[in-house]
Structure 1
Amino acid sequence: MNFNKNQEQSIFLLLIIVFNLSIFCTKVNAQEKPQKLIPFDAAIKTGKLSNGFTYYIKKNTEPKHRVTLYLVVKAGSILEDENQLGLAHFMEHMSFNGTKHFPKNELVAYLQKSGIRFGADLNAYTGFDETVYQLPIPTDNAEILKNGMQIIRDWAQDATLDPEEIDRERGVVLEEKRLRGGAQQRVQEQTLPALLNYSKYAKRLPIGTEVVLKNFTPAVIRSFYKDWYRPDLQAIIVVGDIDMVAIEKEVIRLFSDLKMPGQPRKRNIYNIALDGKNKFKTVIDPELSETTVEFLIKHKEKIIKNETDFKETLIRNLFSKMFAARLAESSKRPDAPFMKLQGGYGELMGGLNALSVSLIPRKGELEAGLKAGWTEVDGIRRNGFVQTELSRMKQELMSEVEVSLREKDKQNSTALADQYKVHFLKGQAVPGIEKEYALVKKFLPEITLAQLNAAAKAMIKATDRDVIITAPMAEKNQFPSQHTVYAWLQQVQQSKIKPYTETKSSLGLMTNLPLKGSITAEKQIANIGVTEWTLSNGAKVVLKPTNYKNDEIVFLSLSPGGTSLYNNVDYESAASAAGIIASFGLGDHDNIGLPKLLNGKQVSMQPFIADRVEGLQGVSTVKDLRTAMELVHLYFTAPRKDTALFRTIIRNSAQQISGRYTDPNNVFADTISAVLGAYNLRRAGPSLEKLNSITLDKVSKIYKERFADAGDFTFFFVGSFNPDTLRLQVEQCLASLPSSGVIEQAKDLGIRTPKGKISKVVKAGKEDKATVKLVFTGDYEFNAENNLSLSALKEILQFRLTERLREVEGGVYTPGVLMNRTKYPASRYSFTVNFGCAPANVEKLIAATLDELKQLRENGISPIDLQKFKAEQIRQNELMEKSNSFWLNYLSSQYLDGEDPKAFLKANTEIEQLNVGTLQQAAKKYLNEDNYIRFVLLPKQIPGS
């Protein structure tokens, strides 16, 4: 149950800069004739029952044998009375704690036994204006589908709201509220009222107030439920591999008897009024790590309903893309007095959108950074864009829509359900991807540079503009006043700004094609549809063509070695080499020219150097596969070296490191890493001394060494490619790579987690909260049986701790259990339990955790928990089997570890054969406290101490 992520962060991080019908809007040109409404997608069956309940039903087979069910309620925190603050969100929690047909916790238990994961699959969120429940379930079992529909019906009006369950849930919600505490939350509390124009939204954060959460009576939450969980404010959305006619009949049967209140309260529509005023806020906080400047220019939202709206949406979308690209380009200049400058246009809330600009100035250069950043913004307002920018972004947008069209029969059900949700909540047009494509193709060529520049002037307006400056305590004495900042902005507006110019390179990505190599051997692994090629330079290629997506190819290459081959003196340069070199550009194109050259191409490629391997990873469409292969070749053969940019990277990194330890979470994380790494230099946190050991010559030399020899690389391709077409690209771009015939191996540096019992307490921060991390480690024999036992124990421990720490103790929001296993350099495993809680509850909850481990060792695994694991894992395997990314990760892992790539074929059989006896033995072996490290983060001053 997630608090809406859009309200979870500081408000200036809300903006969504993506192409979506629900986001970009503007005023209709008064001279244009009114347009007809965009027709609703005819493939969707929709209707409204006599009681006002709405339904959307769509057949969609991605993924197969699955359906996504949503219950959407037009009721969020904005509707709360003063004595109900936080109860919209609390009501969401209570829907999982007992309904008419699933009392107490039976709902979650039933779904887990049906293979549905709590939190990952079964979930919900509460926003200001809506509450949405999400339930993805299998459709190959009629009983599960029937019960899933019944669960949605129960949520709509049959939550039991048992007083005992309410009291038990108070602690969970209060702990969720506690988890949000920190510097960003404090910034939000101080800035949100002004950003939201002191509207009701600023007084209705969904998480609520501690006073209400602790003291409300059951009658108060029942009142909220009765008032707002009613059929005229609700919709069910059913998207998946279903019989639409049968589902419609079931919707009518189940939801027609939903009752309206005798005297329904008016559901007011709240909006944030634009007042034409500019707001200015500054916040100093001791746990902020760096100074940031945020600009928000607010605009009225307009829902897209007709073709005129759609065309204006394209203009705004193009503007946002071009605006973001211009600011990002300015951040790449070595002489820029800011570390980062970014921006875009997107959704805010309460009927508002906003143009946002965010910059991080260099230390001690707030005035220069702010002026330079605003010069970029005001330059766009005054001088506009140039034709080449518009042409590139048109190409980019058209390419994105074409990819979506090619994937029309592979659209994910959840993504479709989200579109229908916005239609229900806002009346947003849902024409379907084919109609969207036709509209883009119709209007995109008509859009002129003059229209874009007019949009820029309208968007970058001088009113409804908020400025927020946040900084660490160390910057307190250098903080500017509102008068000073406004004077800086005025100086920029009065200065001369040169129009933007750019030169377009006539060079292609690869100016000279390499001499082709060849494929010297071929091997089939028919059981899993994999082909292995051996190349003339010794490299190996592993291919798995699929039809899971119509136009997606994912890629990974691996070679043994990594940073393990370098001594401690050179380690930092080795660890940083791939990221630094990639930031310079590639071949004949610098870091500004390369993105422009790749514009409109749906391809990305990134090199990496890890502890024991190096390689490249990327993704491409079929059309852009050639470009992807050229990028691979160039990352091996034509890395760039940029002295000025390197100095900028080091300078910016130094600034980040200098402010790193004002954040208590960084102090805690670095402590954990150091202890688990036996205080090896490579596992300690960043420092200026380490940073200063990095040199450009070392970085360049190490990168070239890691990619100088392709002979011991394995290249993995998974996706919608034709092997014959790929063969030509492999011979041209991969088999031609240099090779010496030397096969390297990674070194074992002997870094192991210390044995025995260790306890570390870190005191940092001012929030009344604690973070606990418990780590259990050891050696083990790496094989399929043991690996499965570890996976099962991880999930079962998650079940048990969620029940114990959350439901019984009421002391945490969501405990987490992680499991890690490695074969090389040594067969090792680790279990990590982590949770946040009140400082006063640390010892009690650690004791409860250890007690659960003891019970697993001594009393074994319950058959019910084993059944839950089997059901969930088998269902997950069904989904993963149809995923390109799963097969890429799985195959590369199997090859890297020297394991059988066909092992996945036996996975479900092995899961079915797993028994409680085997798992109890595994619990005794792997969940013991012989090697147990506990980490606790506490505030510097514990309240009441």
Structure 2
Amino acid sequence: MRIDFKLSVAALALCVASTGAFAQVKKKSAPSPKQKPTDPAVQIKASTLPVDKDVIIGKLPNGLTYYIRQNSLPQNRAELYLINKAGSILETDAQQGLAHFTEHMAFNGTRDFPKNALVNFLQSSGVRFGADLNAFTSFDETVYQLPLPTDSAKVFERGFDILANWAGFVSFDQAELDKERGVILEELRLRGKNAQERLQQQVLPVILNNSRYATRLPKGKEEVIKSFNLATIKSFYEDWYRPNLQAVIAVGDFDPKRVEQLIKEKFSQLKNPASPKPRTEYTVTAAPGTSVKFATDPEFPYTVAQIIVKMPGTQVRTTAEYLQSMRSGLFNQMLNARLNELLQKSNPPFLYGSATYGNFIGKQDAFTATVVARPGELETAIKTLVAETERARKFGFTLTEFERAKQNALVQMGDAYKERDKTRSSNFVNEYQQHFLNGSGIPGIAWEYQFYLDNIDKITLEQMNAMAARVIAGQSRSIIVEAPDNEKPKLPTEAALLGWIVEAGKNLTAYVDNVSTKPLIENIPDAGEIVDQTRDDSIGVTTLTFKNGVKAILKPTDFKNNQVILTGYSFGGTSLVSDAEYTSASMASSVVGNSGVSEFSQIQLQKMMTGKSVSIEPYISEYTQGFSGNSTTKDLGTALQLIYLYFTQPRKDKDIWESNMSQYRSLLVNRNLDPNSVFQDTVSAVLNRYNMRAMVPTTERLNTASLDKAFDFYKSSFGNANGFVFTFVGSFDIDAIKPLLATYLGSLPSSETKKTYKDLGMYPPAGLVSKTVNKGIGEKSTVQLVFSGDYDYSEVNNMQLDALEEVLNIKLIERLREQESGVYAPGVRSIYQKIPAGKYTVTISFGCAPENVDKLIAATMDEINKIKTNGAQATDIQKFKAEDMRSKQVQLRENYFWAGYLASGSQYDLPPHRILYYPKTAEKVTVQSTKDAANKYLSGKNLIKLILMPEKK
């Protein structure tokens, strides 16, 4: 059993931080720009930050800016972006939502790419719609991303035509526009019509001080989207899509001179309006004093409080501002470490807490403290959160905290510097985007690392404490409380809430930093014996077998300079325990993994890891137990020591157990308020034949669990290392790490008996099943169609099922989205397994209006029947092959791919060099094979229909 604590902390976070920008499919989150206030105590002469010498920055006569950087990772790939300094903030009343709508229309026809020609061309070139080809609209910008292969000059150069078409030649065909209205409305339905949106409407005017940002959300207004005419949207495009507000970013494996020539050729033809409108810079004016807002909703399952202290926004353009950004990073690290410690108490005062200083919105910065309370315990949560921030404000930080934070910052920057020639192109794009939009500095990692080395010791503890005193006690403050309707009677009055905050700051004492100076392992174990060593030269893999039965699969790579990815597994898992013992067993790895090791608590262990880049987590799944983790090359020894201790000296921490149980119970209280949670709980139950292990535990079931049972199960799972297989992929020398492996893996205790697993029968039932859940007050539905059955696991069959998944994805986007205008993002996912038994599922899912459920299910089945009757279209098969081949080319140069590939191959007893046959396997996908696969895997004999509908009125 696992309860994932995935929470949109507040409506504010939903709007500003993540979904304020509505994407064509999904916005990829970008790192926040380093925008922090200048500390008056800075002891460094301010000078403008240099510009990274490896980036070419230019401007065309029409005002368009361009950034070009040659970068070889991934090989034969490039990231092309078009940045428009125009978003929803510039819309008139009659255009609310049309910045986002304009973004959609760019994919529905341009001068050189009528209707869907652009998407078809890119898919045929190996670019996936949504996963690769994407765009998003936010308050102040609209961004288009176009990743392309560079080993085809024709495809790559055509990409600049696409960007130029987006920049100035969108067609706005009336028929396409009318069809897209439905798609946009379905996107708004998918992302909205829920508790978060309803709360957002209540709190944003307070948070944003009734500024223009509060009335120009990127989603716009439904009535505008339904009724606007062609002239209105074209007016927005013509006013704001102009070269003096645009930038082209090109980063990748290409000749930069050729790229610069292409930009000049393709974009010089763009023209600004004869009388351009002024691009107004809007702000959120800080209001002095404290504003308080309570907001409730019947479907919101959490009680959340936010204290937002707003301050003038700044940029990182000078060395002094950069130094202050370093202080802000240290401040956030230290303060949140304290809050995280509170969660490890036996009775934690809240479910989640954080406090961060950084960029906010509308040229503002903010110190934002957020807490998620346990049901009925808002007062405790708020008082604890405020007490910790006030403790930092009054007493500052300790010297040991400060030194740890500096070490961690140096290690993080040092790791980035070591990978400077192995950095992915997409990482640079975000920096250049912020440089164009906000003027943020782009000095480059070499300069930044050296600046850290030269200046981090110029930051003093006194400066840090002065910063804490300043940002926590700002003069413009908003306090937001969001809660379920059923908590409304328990909410305080505004006066009582402010009283809690005042009271929380009284009678505080300074923080005490509990650290250990002992070594992780005092007595190094005697090394075990390597009894066998084999090598597969075809893929550069060496396998070591130790006398205790442990195996290590090793693949040294040059994909990264300082990264090692490791996994470990053996068979067994929770399948070996009875249903009565399952609840305890399912918590074992989480509790032990959060309890530290040996004599060290998790808090002490985390502090001991200061200055190291290492992460090791034990896990126990249904059929295996093992480890996942990563480290730098130099810290691999520490990673292995942690694995050794998790085997031999796991720690039983009663406080962690009580903390986890308290969290679980609290999360169950209002879980049934959220329609999506109720639906997914039903989905899981149905697809696993109502096996209790797949169902969310009740409070009564939690009460049967015990720490002793969980700990005993953990020890039994890891008490015998015989049969464990570890995989190491990354930057290491085999001869150099063999002694480490022998010491910490070869010495693990073992017996002659190897564990196996038990088939629990947790797979979908046969036959036709239909289940409808009526939950939710919003007019929205969710549909899942699940085909399932027995499966003969093989590379050929896997390829056929992957192909069927992709061609069905293509057809459902064309039918349900483009033709029916009934959904935003239909999805198809195939899953196949060999353990515990050969089984497959193909799941088709989409969200839609309740009145369209039956029609869209029928359309889906119609598209399936077409493939069953005629096979997939040859053009769609070619798209799949191109996309899959391009994806595989990138994966083959990634450590994470190889770690998963080698580990799964070992579990499934597959030859490690099977990847070499991939091209020939792909050739076996044909029109006839897709027809056969559709009839075999989508026969409809085993079909489960799961539907979420609103509550009956």
TM-score (norm 2): 0.96
Structure 1 runs (4+) deviating above 4 angstroms are: 5-8, 10-15, 18-21, 30-34
Structure 1: distance between partners of 2:488 and 2:13? 26
Structure 1: distance between partners of 2:322 and 2:896? 34
The answer on whether the counterparts of 1:583 and 1:591 sit within 8 Å (CA) in structure 2 is: yes
Counterpart of 1:282, as a letter, is F
Structure 2 counterparts to residues 659-738 of structure 1, below 5 A: 659-738=670-749
Q: What's the secondary structure of 1:124's corresponding residue?
A: strand
Counterpart of 1:116, as a letter, is V
> Cα–Cα, structure 1 residues 620 and 492, in superposed 2: closer, same or farther, change >3 Å?
same
844, 847, 871: which one pairs with 1:836? 847
85, 88, 110: which one pairs with 1:99? 110
1:625 aligns with 2:630: no
2:327 is matched with which residue?
315
Structure 2: distance between partners of 1:304 and 1:340? 30
**How far off its partner does 1:795 sit?**
0.6
Structure 1: distance between partners of 2:208 and 2:787? 47
**How far off its partner does 1:624 sit?**
0.9
1, 10, 14: which one pairs with 1:9? 14
Relative to structure 2, which stretch is displaced further, 685-694 or 318-327? 685-694
The answer on whether the counterparts of 2:12 and 2:200 sit within 8 Å (CA) in structure 1 is: no
1:657 aligns with 2:668: yes
**How far off its partner does 1:685 sit?**
2.4
> Cα–Cα, structure 1 residues 492 and 12, in superposed 2: closer, same or farther, change >3 Å?
farther
**How far off its partner does 1:753 sit?**
1.4
> Cα–Cα, structure 1 residues 14 and 260, in superposed 2: closer, same or farther, change >3 Å?
closer
Structure 2 counterparts to residues 739-758 of structure 1, below 5 A: 739-758=750-769
Structure 2: distance between partners of 1:12 and 1:501? 34
Structure 1: distance between partners of 2:567 and 2:608? 23
Structure 2: distance between partners of 1:64 and 1:622? 23
2:520 is matched with which residue?
509
The answer on whether the counterparts of 2:813 and 2:826 sit within 8 Å (CA) in structure 1 is: yes
**How far off its partner does 1:11 sit?**
4.7
**How far off its partner does 1:300 sit?**
1.9
1:215 is matched with which residue?
227
The answer on whether the counterparts of 2:790 and 2:839 sit within 8 Å (CA) in structure 1 is: yes
Counterpart of 1:740, as a letter, is S
Structure 2: distance between partners of 1:93 and 1:290? 34
What is the percent sequence identity of the aligned residues? 41
**How far off its partner does 1:368 sit?**
2.5
2:598 is matched with which residue?
587
Counterpart of 2:877, as a letter, is L
1:361 aligns with 2:373: yes
Counterpart of 1:867, as a letter, is Q
479, 503, 512: which one pairs with 1:467? 479
**Residues 158-177 of structure 1, C-alpha deviation per residue, up to 9 Å, x if partnerless?**
11010110000000000000
Structure 2: distance between partners of 1:265 and 1:10? 27
Structure 2 counterparts to residues 326-345 of structure 1, below 5 A: 326-345=338-357
Structure 1: distance between partners of 2:11 and 2:149? 29
1:48 is matched with which residue?
59
Q: What's the secondary structure of 1:711's corresponding residue?
A: coil
1:422 aligns with 2:434: yes
**How far off its partner does 1:584 sit?**
1.2
2:776 is matched with which residue?
765
**How far off its partner does 1:369 sit?**
2.5
Cα RMSD after superposing both structures: 1.7
**Residues 637-660 of structure 1, C-alpha deviation per residue, up to 9 Å, x if partnerless?**
111112233122212211111211
Structure 2: distance between partners of 1:516 and 1:593? 27
**How far off its partner does 1:391 sit?**
0.1
The answer on whether the counterparts of 2:530 and 2:546 sit within 8 Å (CA) in structure 1 is: yes
The answer on whether the counterparts of 2:11 and 2:199 sit within 8 Å (CA) in structure 1 is: no
Counterpart of 1:687, as a letter, is T
Structure 2 counterparts to residues 298-309 of structure 1, below 5 A: 298-309=310-321
Structure 2: distance between partners of 1:87 and 1:311? 40
2:4 is matched with which residue?
none
1:77 is matched with which residue?
88
464, 473, 495: which one pairs with 1:452? 464
> Cα–Cα, structure 1 residues 332 and 238, in superposed 2: closer, same or farther, change >3 Å?
same
> Cα–Cα, structure 1 residues 7 and 283, in superposed 2: closer, same or farther, change >3 Å?
closer
The answer on whether the counterparts of 1:410 and 1:550 sit within 8 Å (CA) in structure 2 is: yes
Structure 2: distance between partners of 1:21 and 1:401? 16
**How far off its partner does 1:8 sit?**
7.5
**How far off its partner does 1:741 sit?**
1.6
The answer on whether the counterparts of 1:403 and 1:551 sit within 8 Å (CA) in structure 2 is: yes
Structure 2: distance between partners of 1:811 and 1:245? 45
242, 246, 269: which one pairs with 2:281? 269
1:198 aligns with 2:201: no
1:134 is matched with which residue?
145
The answer on whether the counterparts of 2:12 and 2:203 sit within 8 Å (CA) in structure 1 is: no
1:348 is matched with which residue?
360
Q: What's the secondary structure of 2:772's corresponding residue?
A: strand
Counterpart of 1:830, as a letter, is T
The answer on whether the counterparts of 2:767 and 2:941 sit within 8 Å (CA) in structure 1 is: yes
Counterpart of 1:597, as a letter, is M
1:110 aligns with 2:121: yes
2:828 is matched with which residue?
817
The answer on whether the counterparts of 2:103 and 2:135 sit within 8 Å (CA) in structure 1 is: yes
* Matched pairs, number: 936
1:853 aligns with 2:858: no
1:615 is matched with which residue?
626
2:538 is matched with which residue?
527
Relative to structure 2, which stretch is displaced further, 871-880 or 349-358? 349-358
The answer on whether the counterparts of 1:21 and 1:428 sit within 8 Å (CA) in structure 2 is: no
The answer on whether the counterparts of 2:293 and 2:481 sit within 8 Å (CA) in structure 1 is: yes
397, 401, 422: which one pairs with 1:410? 422
Counterpart of 1:351, as a letter, is K
The answer on whether the counterparts of 1:46 and 1:56 sit within 8 Å (CA) in structure 2 is: yes
The answer on whether the counterparts of 2:109 and 2:116 sit within 8 Å (CA) in structure 1 is: yes
2:488 is matched with which residue?
476
1:146 is matched with which residue?
157
Relative to structure 2, which stretch is displaced further, 220-229 or 370-379? 370-379
The answer on whether the counterparts of 2:565 and 2:729 sit within 8 Å (CA) in structure 1 is: yes
**Residues 21-76 of structure 1, C-alpha deviation per residue, up to 9 Å, x if partnerless?**
82241125288675221111111111111110111110000001011000000000
**How far off its partner does 1:340 sit?**
2.6
The answer on whether the counterparts of 1:636 and 1:708 sit within 8 Å (CA) in structure 2 is: yes
2:5 is matched with which residue?
none
The answer on whether the counterparts of 1:556 and 1:716 sit within 8 Å (CA) in structure 2 is: yes
Counterpart of 1:857, as a letter, is K
Structure 2 counterparts to residues 906-945 of structure 1, below 5 A: 906-941=917-952
Structure 2 counterparts to residues 215-234 of structure 1, below 5 A: 215-234=227-246
1:802 is matched with which residue?
813
Relative to structure 2, which stretch is displaced further, 370-379 or 206-215? 370-379
The answer on whether the counterparts of 1:11 and 1:192 sit within 8 Å (CA) in structure 2 is: no
**How far off its partner does 1:513 sit?**
1.1
Unaligned ranges ≥5, structure 2:
1-9, 21-28
**How far off its partner does 1:689 sit?**
2.3
**How far off its partner does 1:591 sit?**
1.9
Structure 2 counterparts to residues 545-624 of structure 1, below 5 A: 545-624=556-635
> Cα–Cα, structure 1 residues 591 and 647, in superposed 2: closer, same or farther, change >3 Å?
same
1:498 is matched with which residue?
509
**How far off its partner does 1:529 sit?**
0.7
Counterpart of 2:389, as a letter, is V
The answer on whether the counterparts of 2:401 and 2:513 sit within 8 Å (CA) in structure 1 is: no
Q: What's the secondary structure of 2:618's corresponding residue?
A: strand
The answer on whether the counterparts of 1:63 and 1:413 sit within 8 Å (CA) in structure 2 is: yes
Q: What's the secondary structure of 2:289's corresponding residue?
A: coil
1:175 aligns with 2:186: yes
The answer on whether the counterparts of 1:237 and 1:417 sit within 8 Å (CA) in structure 2 is: yes
Relative to structure 2, which stretch is displaced further, 122-131 or 642-651? 642-651
Unaligned ranges ≥5, structure 1:
none
**Residues 721-745 of structure 1, C-alpha deviation per residue, up to 9 Å, x if partnerless?**
1112211110111101100121111
**Residues 670-695 of structure 1, C-alpha deviation per residue, up to 9 Å, x if partnerless?**
11111111111212222112212211
802, 811, 823: which one pairs with 1:791? 802
